């Protein structure tokens, strides 16, 4: 970028200007270099078809493309197995990276592998690619065609999004987590309240890297194109500081909201929209058939720790099943090493292979008609985790764990764990 910045810029405008050919602002079209293209198993077949048949191209920079087998892993049917086989063959043939069964959920894996860095543009064939905003990368989801074009050319084009500024103030109380803050943010913004906008999260030094991933991850549930966390705090020393991108003082936002964390209670999103958010205390007591702790939202080590704290020395209620699926093999290893998995297993949890698990109702814990599930994931649409008459409530790992112990929607204090 050679032109001088003439007006203050948001984080989205800055990143897209840096990776593009000119200084851009909201509403402009930007053509930008793409630093990483991520393809998930469920989309791999259409991606490969578009590369081969429509574009007759191979990836321009194979090292900038990753295929992750995570959504239905291990394969559940012959056709899923066939699609994954083709993805493996394609990776071997073209030299793109492959993260196979058991490595974990795409977003967690890319972050662990350093394949999302401050100031980068990361395109994923998955809507929760906003997660990369946790480290100030412009992460966004696109369909198979756009993803294939980016892989073939090393570039993409997009309209520079307007930005919404979300400022967190105060400190979270004991037992209240980043998930609760994220659900509250979605309630305030509304499920389509930030459609095609970039949510810029100003949190100072409040959140860990994992918590920032939870926040950036949920931004897409307000319809956002990206969810960019302004760098700050303990995560600064994890990366090359010169790469960080900060918004300018005086940048233009379409909307500004402030969320006081100190007044926040544990929150829960009730069926069947993510923005249907209530205090857990309002929903307390509802019978629950399945509790699921995992996903790209809340399947990290700190999430398993929060669950284990509640479940240590306690048992999952008879008649309720608890599924725990670490977000990645690295999370699983660490949770094995520090005894967290043993605690969860002894409490009666069923442990699964790192990956998406039943998050989108494809396998490993699909719900029957009439069943109720409390999940640490990010979506509770009708039919999301199985039958259309099953109901999904979204919550933090601590609330999910307390619910598993009680067999009913509960707070950690209900089991004497807060």
Ligand X SMILES: CC(C)[C@H](C(=O)O)[C@@H](O)C(=O)O
* Candidate residues 117, 340, 377, 380; the one interacting with ligand SF4 per rule CB under 6 A: 377
CA 379-382-385 angle, to 5 degrees, is 60
Contact 131, 215 (CB under 8 A): no
User: Measured between alpha carbons, how far is 110 from 20 in angstroms, rounded to an integer?
Assistant: 23
Residue 12 near ligand X by CB under 6 A: no
Contact 251, 225 (CB under 8 A): no
Q: What is the DSSP string of 187-218?
A: HHH-TTTTTT-EEEEE-TT-S-HHHHHHHHHH
Residue 296 near ligand SF4 by CB under 6 A: yes
Residue 270 near ligand X by CB under 6 A: no
Per CB under 6 A, contacts with ligand SF4 among 122-161 are 126, 128
Per CB under 6 A, contacts with ligand X among 53-92 are 71
Please choose which of ligand SF4, ligand X, none residue 43 contacts, taking the beta carbon within 5 to 8 angstroms, the exact cut-off set by kind: ligand X
Contact 253, 11 (CB under 8 A): no
219: annotated binding-site residue?
no
Nearest-approach distance from CB 215 to ligand X, in angstroms: 17
Q: In what order do the strands lie in the sheet with 121-124?
A: 97-99, 65-68, 36-40, 121-124, 138-141
User: Measured between alpha carbons, how far is 364 from 357 in angstroms, rounded to an integer?
Assistant: 6
Residue 126 near ligand X by CB under 6 A: yes
Per CB under 6 A, contacts with ligand X among 131-190 are 141
Per CB under 6 A, contacts with ligand X among 354-413 are 360
Per CB under 6 A, contacts with ligand SF4 among 357-376 are 359-360
Please choose which of ligand SF4, ligand X, none residue 105 contacts, taking the beta carbon within 5 to 8 angstroms, the exact cut-off set by kind: ligand SF4
User: How many helices (H) does the chain have, and how many strands (E)?
Assistant: 13, 18
Structural element, H or E, at residue 50: none
356: annotated binding-site residue?
yes
For residues 25 and 138, which CB has a smaller minimum distance to ligand X in the complex?
138
Pick from 143, 320, 169, 380: which is nearest to 256 by CA?
Answer: 169
Total residues binding ligand X (CB under 6 A): 9
Burial of 100 (0-12, 13-18, 19+ CB in 10 A): middle
Q: What values do phi and psi take at 163, rounded to 5? A: -120, 145
Per-residue string for binding with ligand SF4, 52-91, x by CB under 6 A?
-------------------x--------------------
Binding site for ligand X (CB under 6 A): 40, 42-43, 71, 126-128, 141, 360
Binding site for ligand SF4 (CB under 6 A): 71, 105, 126, 128, 295-296, 356, 359-360, 377-378
Residues marked as binding? 296, 356, 359
Residues marked as binding for [4Fe-4S] cluster? 296, 356, 359
């Amino acid at each position: 970028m050679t032109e001088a910045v003439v007006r203050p810029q948001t984080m989205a405008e800055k990143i897209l200007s840096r990776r593009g050919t000119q200084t851009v602002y909201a509403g402009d079209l930007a053509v930008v270099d793409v630093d990483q293209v991520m393809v998930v198993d469920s989309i791999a077949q259409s991606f490969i078809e578009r590369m081969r048949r429509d574009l007759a191209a191979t990836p321009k920079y194979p090292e900038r493309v990753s295929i992750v087998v995570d959504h239905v892993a291990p394969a559940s049917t012959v056709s899923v197995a066939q699609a994954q086989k083709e993805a493996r063959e394609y990776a071997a043939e073209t030299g793109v990276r492959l993260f196979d069964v058991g490595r974990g959920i795409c977003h967690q894996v890319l972050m662990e592998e350093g394949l999302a860095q401050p100031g980068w543009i990361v395109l994923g064939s998955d809507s929760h690619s906003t997660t990369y905003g946790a480290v100030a990368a412009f992460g966004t989801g696109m369909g198979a065609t756009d993803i294939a074009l980016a892989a073939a050319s090393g570039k993409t084009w997009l309209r520079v999004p307007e930005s919404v500024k979300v400022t967190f103030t105060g400190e979270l109380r004991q037992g209240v987590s980043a998930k609760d803050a994220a659900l509250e943010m979605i309630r305030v913004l509304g499920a389509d309240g930030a459609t095609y906008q970039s949510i810029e999260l100003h949190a100072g030094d409040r959140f860990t890297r994992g918590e920032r991933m939870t926040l950036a991850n949920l931004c897409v549930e307000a319809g956002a194109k990206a969810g960019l966390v302004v760098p700050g705090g303990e995560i600064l020393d994890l990366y090359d500081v010169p790469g960080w991108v900060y918004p300018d003082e005086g940048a233009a936002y379409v909307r500004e909201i402030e969320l006081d964390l100190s007044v926040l209670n544990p929150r829960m999103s009730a069926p069947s929209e993510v923005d249907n958010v209530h205090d857990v205390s309002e929903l307390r007591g509802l019978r629950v058939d399945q509790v699921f702790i995992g996903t790209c939202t809340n399947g990290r080590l700190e999430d398993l720790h929060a669950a284990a704290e509640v479940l240590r020395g306690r048992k999952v209620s008879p008649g309720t099943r608890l599924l725990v699926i670490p977000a990645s093999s690295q999370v699983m290893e660490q949770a094995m090493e520090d005894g967290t998995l043993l605690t969860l297993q002894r409490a009666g949890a069923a442990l699964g292979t790192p990956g998406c698990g039943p998050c989108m109702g494809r396998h490993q814990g699909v719900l029957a008609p009439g069943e109720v599930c409390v999940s640490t994931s990010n979506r509770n649409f009708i039919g999301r985790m199985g039958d259309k008459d099953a109901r999904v409530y979204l919550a933090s790992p601590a609330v999910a764990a307390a619910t598993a112990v009680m067999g009913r929607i509960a707070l950690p204090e209900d089991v004497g764990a807060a």
